[in-house]
Amino acid sequence: MLDGALIPRLRRARRDPALAVLEGFHPLKHALRFGAEVEAVLTRDAGALEELAARLGPDVRERISSLAQEVSDDVFAQLAPLPPSTGVVSLARRPIPDVARALADPARAPVVLLENPRDLGNLGACVRVAAAADAAAVLTTGSHDPWHPDALRGAAGLHFALAVARVELDELVGANARPLVALDPDGDALDPARLDPRSMLAFGTEREGLSAELLANAHARVRIPMREGVSSLNLATSVAAALFARRLAG
């Protein structure tokens, strides 16, 4: 029997900075795989969810089955603005990101800084590629919560694989031991072999680019070489191009 308080709690959780709403199977799979504390898994078809887990996430199948609570179609339709086609919505505790530790990490892994990102799905896609490229963290400035359910969906739940946090730019300027590299269309062509593997790579919006303050504090400005006439890349595409160019350079 479903706890009647769980549905309103799930709705409130979308604005709760201590909780993460995971819409769909892949966010749940990745959350469990990377150590999330999952409190509830609600599904409209427990059998179908178990089959999906056996096929796409056998390593977490037993944990999903033990957490799953089946609800009616009417109840499931209330759990998210756009109920996921995979028929599962979950609730997890947000980890407390240790930004200072991530910045001080001596490993050869970059940090991604997104200055005032506007689109939550695109922000999530940046987290997804950063996790795949084994980055140390994704930091954002601006008003958007990088743990918003729309960003979590875009990231397929990979927020749990690395540090993801919203910060103030002045927290980073002058207090960051990593070289700050601005992705700027007026910069030098990106040479992955010369890029410090511990760089903080800063990306602005497609329309506005990076702020004058950030550019003034950058140790270097680089651009992704593109065909003449192409004005810009999607934010997540730019992040992927820069991260994987560096990763493949060795």
User: Residue 141: what pLDDT?
Assistant: 96
Question: Are residues 28 and 155 in contact, defined by beta-carbon separation less than 8 angstroms?
Answer: no
What stretches of 132-199 adopt beta strand conformation (E)? 137-140, 163-166, 180-189
Predicted confidence at residue 46, as pLDDT, reads 96
Q: What is the dihedral of CA 11, 14, 19, 24, to 10 degrees?
A: 90
Ordered by start, the domain boundaries in the chain are 6-93, 99-249
Q: What is the pLDDT of residues 197-213, one digit of tens each?
A: 999 999 998 778 899 99
- Check residue 175 and give its pLDDT: 66
CA 145 to CA 17: how far, in whole Å? 9
Q: How many CB atoms lie within 10 A of CB 56?
A: 13
Q: Which residues of the chain have pLDDT under 50?
A: 1
At 229, which amino acid appears? G
Among 96, 149, 91, CA closest to 120: 149
Which CATH number is correct for 6-93, 3.90.230.10, 3.30.1330.30, 3.30.70.260, 1.10.3720.10?
A: 3.30.1330.30
Cβ(130)–Cβ(138) below 8 Å:
yes
So what's the pLDDT on residue 232? Answer: 82
Rounded-to-integer distance, Cα 239 and Cα 192, Å: 13
Question: CA-based diameter of the chain, in Å?
Answer: 61
Q: Indicate the residue type of 169.
A: L
Q: Which of 154, 168, 162 is nearest to 109 (CA)?
A: 162
pLDDT, tens only, 180-196 = 999 999 999 999 989 99
Which among 85, 173, 156, 72 has a CA at the least distance from the CA of 121?
A: 156
The predicted pLDDT at position 3 comes to 56
Residue 1: per-residue pLDDT = 40
Q: What is the pLDDT of residue 112?
A: 98
CA angle 107, 171, 154 (to 5 degrees): 65
H/E stretch holding 90 reads: strand 88-93
Q: The domain at 99-249 falls in which architecture? A: 3-Layer(aba) Sandwich (3.40)
Altogether, the residues listed in the chain come to a count of 250
- CA of 4: how far to CAs of 22, 43, 75, 78, in Å? 19, 15, 10, 13
**CA 40 to mean position of chain CA atoms:** 21
CA distance 152 to 4: 25
